[in-house]
């Protein structure tokens, strides 16, 4: 009897290891999200996994759960207060300002991909370490830019085959009209039966109370004043232009007057993509305009808009719709050598195939024919390339089609060209 050997160490609670074959779906989702962005002129940016904690206090908002309850913080030996990044926008904007990108042509269009960290109660679709693809367009106040980003996100989801997602849309106004709405909302909320933490939130950022998911709070919000009834003419016109551009592009949306999202920096356009097959954690991505964030973190006025799409949540949405992504096989050709001379010859051919752009693998470890062919079948390869002493004496290898079972002898110097032609890569 054999006993399974377990490691002493395990991934921390609320995190996960991404390993094959699941990792193939994650890579395919990231690529699908990035492809429309690259076609639209967004350049790739990568920021550190941790930042000075003050960046998130100012940028994300001191009243948010992210900052008050969920942020991982640490103190360096030199006394610096740092935080693992809980979201991407503040870091990307900081990097753009530090590099003076805003002094060049505007808008600056950037996309990024990476891991983010929040101390949350782990559950399906909500982890303490999670993966996102994000996009930011910095330095332009234009409804076409808001619409562009929303369309690119919708196109990414469609390209993956997703159908059961919905786009929720709202406007949060600007510095002209939001103060009037804020005062009206505070007057309404102060009259409700709320706990002490929520009452503090009413004074700091009352819009966040609208985003409270607790039934006891939501039941009391009936009749609460809505931002859409307090928008100034400029914000109304801006929002109508965004809506018109989305409609013209064939992107369906639902107006949601209570949509706030969990970050304090949003202004005007706010949106969220939700999938009804994910239960309570239905959001798969979202974003909005954040025209004042640059000034909040010490930069110049730089009106901007962006989004972040959850890779983990999107993979769950694909599973909910039973969508199997067409991920590339790890190998198109699998070499099965029989004997030392064949090992040398086939290893050389595998190297040639790889250098010519064909994914190829090899039966390592001196396996016999039966076990090596099992490995070939498990690899997902279309062809097995088999050779023994007699084949080499005749100057050929046997190319076996693993789907049809048909086997063809090929001259050694013709293998690469023949395989490329059969795979449509000639």
Domains and CATH numbers, the chain: 22-177+231-320 (3.30.930.10), 333-422 (3.40.50.800)
83 CA to centre of own chain: 21
Q: What is the pLDDT of residue 246?
A: 98
* Span of 183-197, 256-270, 383-397 with lowest mean pLDDT: 256-270
Q: What is the pLDDT of residue 144?
A: 98
- For residues 56-78, give the mean pLDDT: 83
Q: What is the pLDDT of residue 277?
A: 87
Q: What is the pLDDT of residue 87?
A: 93
Q: What is the pLDDT of residue 349?
A: 97
* Span of 162-171, 182-191, 231-240 with lowest mean pLDDT: 182-191
CB half-sphere exposure, 255, CA atoms < 13 A: 12
Output b/e per residue, 94-132; b: 16+ Cβ within 10 A.
Answer: bbbbeeebbeeeebbbbbbbbebbbebeeeebbbbbbbb
- For residues 42-65, give the mean pLDDT: 88
Helices 415-422 & 340-355, crossing angle to 10 degrees?
A: 50
| CA-CA-CA-CA dihedral for 223, 286, 97, 50, to nearest 10 | 110
Residue 1 — very low, low, confident or very high, per pLDDT cuts 50/70/90? Answer: very low
User: Which carries the bigger pLDDT value, residue 340 or residue 126?
Assistant: 340
Query: Does 262 have pLDDT greater than 70?
Result: no
Neighbours of 390 (CB within 10 A): 10
- For residues 220-239, give the mean pLDDT: 92
């Amino acid at each position: 009897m054999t006993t399974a050997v377990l490691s002493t160490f395990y991934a921390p609670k609320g995190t996960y290891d991404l390993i094959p074959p699941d990792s193939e779906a994650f890579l395919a989702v990231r690529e699908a999200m990035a492809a429309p962005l690259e076609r639209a002129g967004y350049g790739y940016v990568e920021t550190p996994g941790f930042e000075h904690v003050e960046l998130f206090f100012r940028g994300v908002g001191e009243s948010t759960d992210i900052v008050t309850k969920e942020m991982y913080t640490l103190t360096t030996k030199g006394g610096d207060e740092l935080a693992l990044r809980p979201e991407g926008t503040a870091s990307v904007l900081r990097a753009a300002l530090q590099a003076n990108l805003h002094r060049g042509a505007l808008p600056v269009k950037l996309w990024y991909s990476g891991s983010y960290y929040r101390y949350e109660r782990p559950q399906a679709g909500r982890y303490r370490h999670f993966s996102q693809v994000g996009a930011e367009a910095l330095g332009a106040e234009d409804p076409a830019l808001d619409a562009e980003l929303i369309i690119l996100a919708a196109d990414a989801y469609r390209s993956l085959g997703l159908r059961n997602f919905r786009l929720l849309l709202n406007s949060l106004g600007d510095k002209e009209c939001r103060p009037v709405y804020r005062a009206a909302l505070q007057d309404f909320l102060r009259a409700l039966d709320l706990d002490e933490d929520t009452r503090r939130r009413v004074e700091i950022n009352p819009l966040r109370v609208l985003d409270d998911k607790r039934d006891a709070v939501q039941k009391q919000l009936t009749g609460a004043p809505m931002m859409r009834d307090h928008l100034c003419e400029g914000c109304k016109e801006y929002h109508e232009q965004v809506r018109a551009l989305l409609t013209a592009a064939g992107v369906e949306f639902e107006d949601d007057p209570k949509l706030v999202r969990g970050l304090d920096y949003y202004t005007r356009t706010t949106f969220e993509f939700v999938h009804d097959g994910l239960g309570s954690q239905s959001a798969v991505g979202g974003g909005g305009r954040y025209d004042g964030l640059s000034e909040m973190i010490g930069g110049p006025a730089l009106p901007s808009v962006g989004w972040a799409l959850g890779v983990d949540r999107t993979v769950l949405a694909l599973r909910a719709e039973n969508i199997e992504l067409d991920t590339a096989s790890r190998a198109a050709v699998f070499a099965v050598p029989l004997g030392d001379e064949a090992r040398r010859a086939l290893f050389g051919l595998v190297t040639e195939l790889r250098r010519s752009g064909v994914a190829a693998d090899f039966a390592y470890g001196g396996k016999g024919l039966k076990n090596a062919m099992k490995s070939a079948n498990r690899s997902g390869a279309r062809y097995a390339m088999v050779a023994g002493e007699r084949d080499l004496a005749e100057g050929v290898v046997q190319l076996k089609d693993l789907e049809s079972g048909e086997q063809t002898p090929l001259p050694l110097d013709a293998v690469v060209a023949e395989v490329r032609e059969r795979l449509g890569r000639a």
